[in-house]
Amino acid sequence: MHRISYLLTDGFQVLSLATQAVFEFANIAAQEPFYTVEHFSLTGGTVRSSLGLALDTQPLEAPRLADTWIIVGVTNPLPTQSSPQTLEFLRRAQAHARRTVGICTGAFILAEAGLLAGRRATTHWAYAHEMQRRYPDVSVEPDRIYIVDGAIWTSAGMTAGLDLALGLVEKDLGADIARSVARKLVMHHYRSGGQSQHSEMLQLAPKSDRIQRALEHARKHLSHPLSVEELAEVVNLSPRQFSRVFSAETGQSPAKAIEGLRLEAARLMIEQSRHSLDVVARETGFRDRRHMREVFLRGFGIPPQAVRRDARTPPRS
């Protein structure tokens, strides 16, 4: 039996508790009570979420053994700091646990305890740069769903915790059980840890239907040249009008936005398929493999080969 212990603080983000459904349905899929779940806080008793949900917890008492500790984040991690007792407990507990996990801004608590020093980690995109500023000895990767570095797992914000929990299940019980759980939870797609936190279409967020239509056209025809003239014709504007309206609504030029869509599509193809890089470059509209590499280095800081390698590398336990 695998004991999972959640560490909560007042103001915790309630969506983090949704990860417990992953372990519940893993038990059902495995046809045995593989996981048990408990809740803890520093002094025990009632802990309230940011929305006011009250949850009863047990106090942290050494020695408290668990196979996996999951540190739950709060909605805003910046104003507060963890108690010295909590940080000391985590340092001791991490030495005995199989894994220590920070969901969303729970990574800040792990960093405070020194457990992320010299490691790769991620957190909610809105706080990633602040985390890097506060903890320069941590290699913060702000554009990842979750990261596994040895026995430390960290996830991006909100629903990314579900992907991390499925990653834990896959590590413990295998890919078939993880896929079964994802289907039962009606998760459209189980995202690997290397995937981006962002959708380029969401980030552009055009205000009008006509610019949305142009972007949808571009997304469906990335292998085409996609000139301004072509996109303008789709929405019945002159090229000059289209460029002006597009930039006003998205904050980017059409060329820059299309490059972002190509980059996102290429990364997904690299992560999720076995197509050669030449095929990926052609299908997503880059001039050739070399051009795609240049754009990857500019956009992600790593070449396409590194993205494929990360997607195929199994998590370290």
Q: Whole-angstrom distance between the N-terminal and C-terminal Cα of the chain?
A: 17
What pLDDT sits at residue 316?
A: 47
Q: Is the pLDDT of residue 303 over 60?
A: yes
The dihedral of CA 254, 206, 193, 40: what is its sign? Answer: positive
pLDDT tens by residue, 142-160? 878 899 999 999 999 878 9
96-100, 209-213, 263-267, 272-276: which is most confident:
96-100
- The set of residues, in sequence order, having a beta carbon less than 8 Å from that of 40 and lying 6+ positions away, is 5, 6, 7, 8, 57, 58, 59, 60, 64
Percentage of the chain lying above the pLDDT 70 cut:
91
Task: Tell me, yes or no, if 54 is annotated catalytic.
Answer: no
DSSP conformation letters of 87-138 = HHHHHHHHHHSSEEEEETTHHHHHHHTTTTTTSEE---GGGHHHHHHH-TTS
**316's tokens:** 């370290």
Backbone Cα Rg of the chain: 22
- The set of residues, in sequence order, having a beta carbon less than 8 Å from that of 180 and lying 6+ positions away, is 25, 29
Q: Which residues pair with 149 in a beta bridge?
A: 152
Q: Is the pLDDT of residue 63 over 70?
A: no
What pLDDT sits at residue 315?
A: 47
All domains in the chain, ordered by first residue: 2-184 (3.40.50.880), 200-312 (1.10.10.60)
Whether residue 63 is preceded by a cis peptide bond, meaning omega within 30 degrees of 0, is yes
Q: Is the pLDDT of residue 238 over 60?
A: yes
What pLDDT sits at residue 208?
A: 86
CA-wise closest residue to 51 among 81, 75, 73: 75
Indicate the pTM of the whole model: 0.66
What pLDDT sits at residue 222?
A: 93
In which band, very low, low, confident or very high, does the pLDDT at 317 lie, cut at 50, 70 and 90? very low
What pLDDT sits at residue 62?
A: 54
DSSP conformation letters of 201-227 = HHHH--SSHHHHHHHHHHHHTTTS---
pLDDT, mean of residues 93-103: 94
Which of 104, 116, 228, 231 does the annotation list as catalytic?
A: 104
pLDDT tens by residue, 170-181? 999 998 899 899
In which band, very low, low, confident or very high, does the pLDDT at 27 lie, cut at 50, 70 and 90? very high
Q: Is residue 33 classed exposed, middle or buried when 0-12, 13-18 and 19+ CB atoms within 10 A define those classes?
A: exposed
In which band, very low, low, confident or very high, does the pLDDT at 300 lie, cut at 50, 70 and 90? confident
Percentage of the chain lying above the pLDDT 90 cut:
69
AA letter at 35: Y
Q: Is the pLDDT of residue 41 over 80?
A: yes
Contact 214, 141 (CB under 8 A): no
Mean pLDDT of the chain: 89
What pLDDT sits at residue 179?
A: 87
